[in-house]
């Protein structure tokens, strides 16, 4: 079967794509055979793989898991890593198996698990068993005691899986809710010193160096963190910097007027540091992008800023947000975006690049770059924004889904 008139990144002319048994067999300017779909000049793009997705209210249950998979699919996110800081936490075989069993009939969306390395009882989780059960990475809060951190790193080395690090010294960040600076002072809120992040990044760079493991630092927002990671990469350490889309678009000024929709962890940088972070991004110092999706019920945001929940809900509009905010605004090229939301993510987890080429599995969307959508979710920081691009269809293996 053939998809006609597809617009592919890095091709000068429209291409036809031949599909057989769930694989791309041929890509040419003019193919002959049974036409399955006419893309009519729309983009054919790989699905998104987000490595840091949270479930609604951080609560694992059947409804929330099924809702997440449906919303992810609408946004073009076919694969995702579920952040394990949930209730109950993904630190036991029982909880992990519940996730797997709940979603076993969800044949399209692939929800993968990350092990919370320390359980709710404060003891080390059964990491080896959970990895054999199907987990793809290990999560750790960076300010855990150093001996435990080293033991967790040994597991990551032994099983050759990445270690996902939430870099935050909570003895510094404490009950802060916004970055330390003029905006925090003007609002009368306790600020968070960026050192709470960068100090921990430095520590885990040395752990990565010692054990030769992959370390992904989740959702960074400190200038110094990126400086440290750049130096470590130059020295051959396998460390990767993740950044959320939101931190590329907003600074702490977005919190003005106690805007709880802008309360996020880590907090938005000051306006001065925001420009530096944007330059790091343009200088290719960010390896992975995330939407850091963290949905909550409206009441969790409709309270005083100090009491409001951290997090931004955005996964339903994933592709449209990325395309509008980064590509249309010329912050980065579409080719670069695909590296940050799909290709690099795949390589960190499986050392495989999930791109659109002959011999690869069918796993892509038809994206109408000229259509527009409006964000209807009033609980989102992007509420009422008009976005470019709409997903028409998703193809995966032999399955076609109209969106």
Yes or no: domain 47-356 corresponds to CATH 3.20.20.140: yes
pLDDT tens-digit series, residues 239-260: 999 999 999 999 999 999 999 9
Given a cut of 90, whether residue 69 has pLDDT beyond it is yes
For residue 266, cis peptide bond before it (omega within 30 degrees of 0):
yes
Region 46-69: what's the mean pLDDT? 96
Helices 195-211, 146-159: axis angle to 10 degrees equals: 50
Given a cut of 90, whether residue 381 has pLDDT beyond it is yes
Region 310-318: what's the mean pLDDT? 94
The predicted structure's pLDDT at residue 296: 85
Identify whether the C-beta of residue 65 lies closer than 8 Å to the C-beta of residue 111: yes
pLDDT tens-digit series, residues 283-298: 999 999 999 999 888 7
pLDDT tens-digit series, residues 186-243: 999 999 999 999 999 999 999 999 999 999 999 999 999 999 999 999 999 999 999 9
The predicted structure's pLDDT at residue 298: 75
The predicted structure's pLDDT at residue 378: 87
Instruction: Give burial (CB, 10 Å; 0-12/13-18/19+) of 85.
Output: middle
pTM score, two decimals? 0.96
More confident residue, 403 or 181: 181
Other beta carbons less than 10 A from residue 126's beta carbon: 16
The predicted structure's pLDDT at residue 354: 76
Q: What is the DSSP letter of 253?
A: G
Alpha helices, H only, 334-392: 334-338, 344-350
Q: How far is CA 151 from CA 90, 117, 289, in A?
A: 18, 10, 28
The predicted structure's pLDDT at residue 396: 95
Region 116-135: what's the mean pLDDT? 96
Quick one: three-class SS letters along 26-88? EEECCCCCCEEEECCCCEEEECEEEEEECCHHHECCHHHHHHHHHHHHHCCEEEEEECCCCEC
Identify whether the C-beta of residue 170 lies closer than 8 Å to the C-beta of residue 143: yes
Region 26-34: what's the mean pLDDT? 92
Q: Percent of the chain at pLDDT above 70?
A: 100
Given a cut of 90, whether residue 299 has pLDDT beyond it is no
Residue ranges per domain, the chain? 2-38, 47-356
Given a cut of 90, whether residue 300 has pLDDT beyond it is no
Identify whether the C-beta of residue 42 lies closer than 8 Å to the C-beta of residue 366: yes
Q: Percent of the chain at pLDDT above 90?
A: 93
Region 41-56: what's the mean pLDDT? 97
More confident residue, 328 or 300: 328
Region 124-141: what's the mean pLDDT? 97
Region 329-345: what's the mean pLDDT? 97
Region 312-337: what's the mean pLDDT? 97
Residue listed under structure tokens 């793809």? 136
In DSSP notation, 199-236 reads: HHHHHHHHHHHHHT--EEE-S---HHHHHHHHHHHHTT
């Amino acid at each position: 079967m053939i998809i006609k008139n597809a617009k592919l990144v890095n091709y000068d002319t429209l291409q036809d794509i031949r599909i057989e048994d769930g694989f791309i067999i041929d890509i040419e300017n003019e193919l002959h055979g049974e036409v399955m779909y006419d893309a009519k000049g729309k983009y054919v793009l790989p699905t998104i793989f987000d490595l840091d997705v949270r479930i609604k209210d951080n609560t694992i249950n059947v409804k929330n898991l099924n809702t997440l998979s449906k919303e992810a699919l609408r946004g073009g996110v076919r694969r995702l890593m579920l952040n394990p800081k949930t209730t109950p936490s993904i630190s036991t075989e029982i909880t992990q198996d519940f996730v797997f069993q709940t979603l076993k009939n969800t044949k399209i969306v692939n929800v993968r698990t990350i092990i919370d390395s320390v359980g709710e009882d404060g003891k080390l989780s059964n990491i080896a068993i959970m990895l054999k059960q199907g987990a793809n990475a290990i999560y750790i809060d960076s300010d855990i005691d150093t001996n435990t951190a080293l033991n967790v790193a040994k597991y990551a080395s032994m099983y050759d899986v990445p270690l996902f690090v939430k870099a935050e010294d909570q003895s510094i960040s404490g009950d802060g809710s916004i970055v330390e600076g003029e905006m925090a002072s003007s609002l009368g809120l306790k600020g968070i010193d960026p050192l709470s992040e960068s100090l921990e990044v430095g520590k885990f760079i040395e752990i990565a160096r010692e054990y030769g493991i992959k370390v992904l630092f989740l959702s960074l927002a400190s200038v110094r963190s990126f400086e440290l990671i750049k130096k470590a990469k130059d020295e051959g350490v396998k460390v990767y910097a993740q950044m959320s889309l939101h931190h590329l678009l907003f600074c702490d000024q977005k919190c003005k007027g106690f805007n709880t929709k802008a309360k996020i962890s880590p907090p938005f940088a000051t306006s001065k540091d925001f420009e530096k972070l944007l330059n790091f991004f343009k200088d290719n110092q960010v390896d992975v992008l995330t939407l850091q999706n963290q949905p909550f019920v409206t009441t969790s945001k409709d309270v005083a800023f100090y009491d409001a929940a951290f997090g931004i809900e955005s996964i339903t509009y994933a592709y449209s947000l990325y395309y509008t905010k980064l590509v249309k605004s010329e912050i980065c090229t579409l080719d670069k975006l695909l590296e940050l939301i799909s290709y690099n993510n795949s390589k960190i987890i499986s050392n495989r690049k999930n791109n659109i080429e002959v011999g690869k599995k069918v796993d892509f969307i038809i994206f109408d770059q000229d259509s527009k959508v409006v964000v209807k979710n009033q609980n989102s920081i992007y509420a009422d924004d008009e976005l470019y691009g709409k997903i028409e269809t998703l193809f995966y293996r032999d399955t076609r889904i109209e969106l």
